[in-house]
C-alpha cells in the first residue's frame, strides 16, 4: 500500500470505453462519472435521506401541482386539437413536465418501482400525444388560438423546452433503453435539425438549454447531427441575433459576445451557466483544448469575483443575473436555486474535461449551501432565491402559488416554478456526481454514506459527514491494479489518512492517492470540521467589516429565533476574540449586544459616532444555512458585523 500526493492530470482526449447511466458521458474523456445504479446511498445519511424524500414526496408533489394548475392538461388540449383561449402557465411550463420526467427516469433507473413506472408511462403518453407529425412539440405556440411557431425566439422558450425533453430522454435511454419518451425526443430533435440546421433558420433560443440537451442526446443515440446542431447554436450566439427589450440587453441573453471571447459569466445567471455547460461539452467533443482553457478562465473569474460564500450565483433581482465584479450584496442576493443547479452542471463538465480538484470543491459548496437549502424537510416547499441576509420575517407558507422571488419562507409552488423540478432531477441523479473513473483510478469526489462501485472497486462509505469529518471506506472488492483517489477539501486545516492501521500520515488539500488496496482494507480519512471564521474580500463593499462562520463545507447563519428576547439581529456584533465552538450540527459563537442611542425624530441616521453600551458577552447558536427557516419564518444573516 502506497499513499501519494496531489497529481495534476489535464489530458482531455483519451477514449473512455465506459458508457455509464449518468447525466454526462463525454465519449472522448478519460474520465467518466459513476452510474446512478452503481451508487446506493444510505437513506439515513445526509444525501441519502434527501434523495429518499425526493422520491417519496417531491415527485408526487410536483406532478400534483402541475395537474392542479393545468400545465399537464395543456398537452391534452393540443392532442385533442382544441382551440386555446386562455392557456395556463408561462410559455416554458412544458419544461417543468420534462424535468419531472427526467427525475422519474433517473429514479426508475436507480430503483425500479411499479407505481412510479405507471405514473411515468401515463405522463409520457400524454406528452407524446401532443407532438405534431413533423416532430414539433409545444403547448404555447403553433396551435389554434396560439402564436405562430418560433415567432418569439427571444422569450418564447420553444427550443429551451425541447432541450429539457432531450435531457429527460437521455436519462431514460441510459437507464432503460428506447421507449415512447425517447422516440418522442428523437422526433423533436430531428425537427430541430430540419428547422435550424445548416440550411434552416439562422437563429437561436433566448434561453440556452437546447444546446446541452442536443449534445448529450447525440452522445446517447450516437447521432452526430444533434451534436453538430448544438455547435451551430453555440457559434451563432454572441452576434446580436436576438432582439433586445427594455431592461433585457444582449448581455442578458449572452448574445453580446461569442462564447469563447467572453472573460466572465454575465447576464441572466441560469442562461449563462446552461450555455457554459454546453460549451464545455462541445469543446471536448471537438477536441478543442483552447476552448476548454477559455471556459476555465471564465469559470475562475466568475468564482473569484461573482460568487457568494454559499456557492450561489446571481446578485441582481431585476434580471436574475450576475452583477459586476464584487457586487455581492448579502440581503439582495438572488442566488436562484436553478443557478446552483447550473453551476453544478458547468463545474462537473469542467472536472470531467480536466480532472482539476477545484471543480468538485465548488460542487460540494453549492450542493450543501444552495441545493440542499431549497427544499423543506418534507420535500414539499422550496426556496427560489437564496439570500444571505433576511431583514424581514417571511410570511407563513400558504397553499397558493407564490411569486418566484419571495423570501423568508419556502413556498409549495411558484408562478415560475422551475426550481422544484430542477431540485427533483438533481437529487434523483445526485449519485452520478459522487465518484468517477479516471483512467482506471477510482475517485471519490463527494463523501456520501452508502455503497459505490467504480473502476473495479466496490466500497462501503460510512460517515456522518459533514457534521463529522471522519470518512471510513471499507474495500469490499478491489481490482488487481488501479488505485483509489480521495479529495481533501481546502477548508480542512488539518487532514490525516490511515489504511487498515498500517500507516497514518498527514495529507494536504487536493488529491490523495492510495495504491495496492485489497478486499478488506479500511481507509480512514479525517477532515477538520471545526467551526472557523471566514472573512470576505475587502472589495465586497456590502459585507466589509463583517465575518461569516463556516464548519466543514457548511456555511452557518444566525436566526432571530436563537437570540434572547428583546435582542434583534441588527443589535449584535460577533466577538472575534473568542473562537467559535462546535454546537450540535452548527456552532456557538460569542456576540456583544450594541445598544445604540436613539435618533432624534426627523434626523437622518448619520453623524458622529453614537454612544454605545456594550453588554456582557452572550453565547449564540449559529446553524447550517441549509436549515434556515425550517422551524418557522424568521430573520437571518450569514455575515455578522465585527465588534
Sequence-ordered list of residues with C-beta below 8 angstroms from that of 577, at least 6 positions apart, any chain: none
Residue 444 shares a structural domain with residue 493 = yes
Q: Does residue 43 form part of some domain? A: no
Report the distance separating Cα 378 and Cα 269, nearest Å.
28
Query: Model confidence over 52-70: pLDDT tens digits?
Result: 999 999 999 999 999 999 9
Residue 635 shares a structural domain with residue 579 = yes
Q: Does residue 293 form part of some domain? A: no
* Domain termination site, one of 472, 503, 527: 527
Stretch 167-180: mean pLDDT: 97
Q: Does residue 517 form part of some domain? A: yes
Share of the chain above pLDDT 70, in %: 95
Structural domain count, the chain:
2
Query: Model confidence over 598-621: pLDDT tens digits?
Result: 778 888 888 776 655 566 789 999
Query: What pLDDT score does 405 carry?
Result: 64
Residue 546 shares a structural domain with residue 630 = yes
Q: Does residue 520 form part of some domain? A: yes
H/E run at residue 574: strand 572-574
Q: Write b or e for each residue in 427-463: b if 16 or more Cβ atoms lie within 10 A of its Cβ, otherwise e.
A: bbbbbbbbbbbbbebbbbbbbbbbebbbbebbbbbbb
Query: What pLDDT score does 612 carry?
Result: 59
* pLDDT band at residue 11 under the 50/70/90 scheme: very low
Residue 462 shares a structural domain with residue 545 = no
Q: Comparing 124 with 614, which gets the higher pLDDT?
A: 124
Question: Residue 457 is part of which domain span?
Answer: 434-527
Query: What pLDDT score does 20 carry?
Result: 80
Instruction: Check pLDDT > 60 for residue 393.
Output: yes
Residue 548 shares a structural domain with residue 518 = no
Q: Does residue 636 form part of some domain? A: yes
Q: Does residue 277 form part of some domain? A: no
- Find where cell 414526496 sits: 57
Query: What pLDDT score does 281 carry?
Result: 98
Residue 633 shares a structural domain with residue 545 = yes
Residue 500 shares a structural domain with residue 573 = no
* Domain termination site, one of 527, 545, 561: 527
Q: Does residue 594 form part of some domain? A: yes
* Domain termination site, one of 490, 509, 527: 527
Residue 560 shares a structural domain with residue 597 = yes
Residue 520 shares a structural domain with residue 602 = no
Residue 484 shares a structural domain with residue 515 = yes
Query: Model confidence over 308-334: pLDDT tens digits?
Result: 999 999 999 989 999 999 999 999 999
Residue 460 shares a structural domain with residue 489 = yes
Query: What pLDDT score does 10 carry?
Result: 39
Q: Comparing 467 with 393, which gets the higher pLDDT?
A: 467
Domain holding 479: CATH number?
2.60.40
Give the strand pairing for 483-488 and 441-444.
parallel
Query: What pLDDT score does 501 carry?
Result: 78
Residue 538 shares a structural domain with residue 505 = no
Q: Does residue 310 form part of some domain? A: no
Stretch 557-586: mean pLDDT: 93
Amino acid at each position: 500500500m502506497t499513499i501519494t500526493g496531489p497529481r495534476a492530470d489535464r489530458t482531455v482526449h483519451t477514449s473512455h470505453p465506459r458508457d455509464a447511466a449518468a447525466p454526462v458521458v463525454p465519449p472522448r474523456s478519460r474520465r467518466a462519472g459513476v452510474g446512478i445504479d452503481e451508487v446506493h446511498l444510505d437513506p439515513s445519511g445526509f444525501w441519502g435521506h434527501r434523495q429518499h424524500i425526493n422520491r417519496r414526496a417531491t415527485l408526487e408533489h410536483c406532478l400534483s401541482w402541475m395537474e392542479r394548475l393545468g400545465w399537464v392538461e395543456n398537452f391534452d388540449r393540443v392532442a385533442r386539437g382544441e382551440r386555446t383561449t386562455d392557456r395556463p402557465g408561462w410559455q416554458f411550463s412544458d419544461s417543468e413536465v420534462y424535468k419531472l420526467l427526467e427525475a422519474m427516469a433517473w429514479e426508475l433507473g436507480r430503483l425500479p418501482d411499479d407505481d412510479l413506472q405507471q405514473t411515468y408511462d401515463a405522463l409520457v403518453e400524454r406528452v407524446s400525444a401532443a407532438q405534431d407529425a413533423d416532430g414539433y412539440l409545444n403547448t404555447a405556440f403553433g396551435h389554434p388560438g396560439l402564436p405562430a411557431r418560433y415567432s418569439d425566439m427571444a422569450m418564447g422558450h420553444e427550443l429551451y423546452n425541447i432541450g429539457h425533453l432531450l435531457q429527460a430522454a437521455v436519462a431514460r435511454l441510459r437507464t432503460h433503453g428506447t421507449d415512447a419518451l425517447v422516440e418522442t425526443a428523437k422526433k423533436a430533435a430531428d425537427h430541430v435539425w430540419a428547422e435550424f440546421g445548416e440550411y434552416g433558420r439562422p437563429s437561436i433560443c433566448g434561453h440556452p438549454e437546447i444546446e446541452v440537451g442536443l449534445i448529450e442526446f447525440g452522445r446517447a443515440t450516437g447521432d452526430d447531427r444533434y451534436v453538430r446542431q448544438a455547435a451551430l447554436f453555440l457559434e451563432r450566439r454572441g452576434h446580436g441575433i436576438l432582439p433586445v427589450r427594455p431592461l433585457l440587453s444582449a448581455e442578458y441573453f449572452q448574445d453580446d459576445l461569442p462564447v469563447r471571447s467572453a472573460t466572465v459569466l454575465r447576464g441572466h445567471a441560469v442562461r449563462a451557466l446552461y450555455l457554459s455547460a454546453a460549451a464545455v461539452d462541445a469543446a471536448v467533443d471537438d477536441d478543442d483544448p483552447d476552448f476548454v482553457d477559455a471556459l476555465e478562465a471564465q469559470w475562475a473569474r466568475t468564482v473569484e469575483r461573482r460568487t457568494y460564500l454559499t456557492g450561489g450565483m446571481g446578485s441582481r433581482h431585476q434580471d436574475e443575473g450576475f452583477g459586476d465584479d464584487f457586487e455581492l450584496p448579502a440581503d439582495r442576493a438572488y442566488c436562484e436555486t436553478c443557478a446552483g443547479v447550473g453551476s453544478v452542471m458547468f463545474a462537473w463538465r469542467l472536472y470531467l474535461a480536466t480532472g482539476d480538484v477545484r471543480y468538485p470543491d465548488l460542487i460540494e459548496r453549492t450542493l450543501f449551501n444552495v441545493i440542499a437549502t431549497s427544499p423543506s424537510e418534507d420535500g414539499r416547499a422550496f426556496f427560489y432565491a437564496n439570500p444571505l441576509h433576511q431583514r424581514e420575517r417571511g410570511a407563513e407558507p400558504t397553499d397558493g402559488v407564490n411569486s418566484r422571488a419571495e423570501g423568508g419562507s419556502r413556498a409549495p409552488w411558484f408562478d415560475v416554478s422551475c426550481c422544484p423540478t430542477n431540485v427533483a432531477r438533481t437529487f434523483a441523479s445526485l449519485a452520478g456526481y459522487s465518484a468517477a473513473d479516471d483512467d482506471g483510478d477510482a475517485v471519490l469526489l463527494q463523501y456520501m454514506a452508502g455503497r459505490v462501485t467504480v473502476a473495479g472497486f466496490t466500497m462501503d462509505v460510512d460517515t456522518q459527514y459533514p457534521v463529522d469529518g471522519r470518512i471510513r471506506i471499507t474495500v469490499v472488492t478491489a481490482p488487481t491494479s488501479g488505485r483509489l483517489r480521495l479529495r481533501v477539501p481546502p477548508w480542512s486545516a488539518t487532514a490525516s489518512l490511515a489504511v487498515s492501521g498500517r500507516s497514518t500520515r498527514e495529507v494536504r488539500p487536493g488529491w490523495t492517492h492510495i495504491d495496492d488496496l485489497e478486499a478488506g482494507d479500511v481507509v480512514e480519512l479525517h477532515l477538520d470540521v471545526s467551526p472557523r471564521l471566514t472573512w470576505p474580500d475587502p472589495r465586497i463593499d456590502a459585507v466589509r467589516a463583517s465575518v461569516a462562520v463556516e464548519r466543514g463545507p457548511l456555511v452557518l447563519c444566525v436566526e432571530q429565533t436563537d437570540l434572547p428576547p428583546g435582542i434583534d439581529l441588527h443589535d449584535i456584533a460577533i466577538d472575534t476574540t473568542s473562537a467559535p465552538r462546535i454546537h450540535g450540527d452548527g456552532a456557538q459563537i460569542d456576540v456583544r449586544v450594541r445598544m445604540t442611542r436613539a435618533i432624534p425624530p426627523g434626523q437622518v441616521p448619520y453623524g458622529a459616532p453614537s454612544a454605545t453600551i456594550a453588554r456582557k458577552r452572550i453565547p449564540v447558536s449559529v446553524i447550517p444555512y441549509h436549515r434556515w427557516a425550517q422551524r418557522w419564518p424568521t430573520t437571518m444573516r450569514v455575515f455578522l458585523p465585527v465588534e
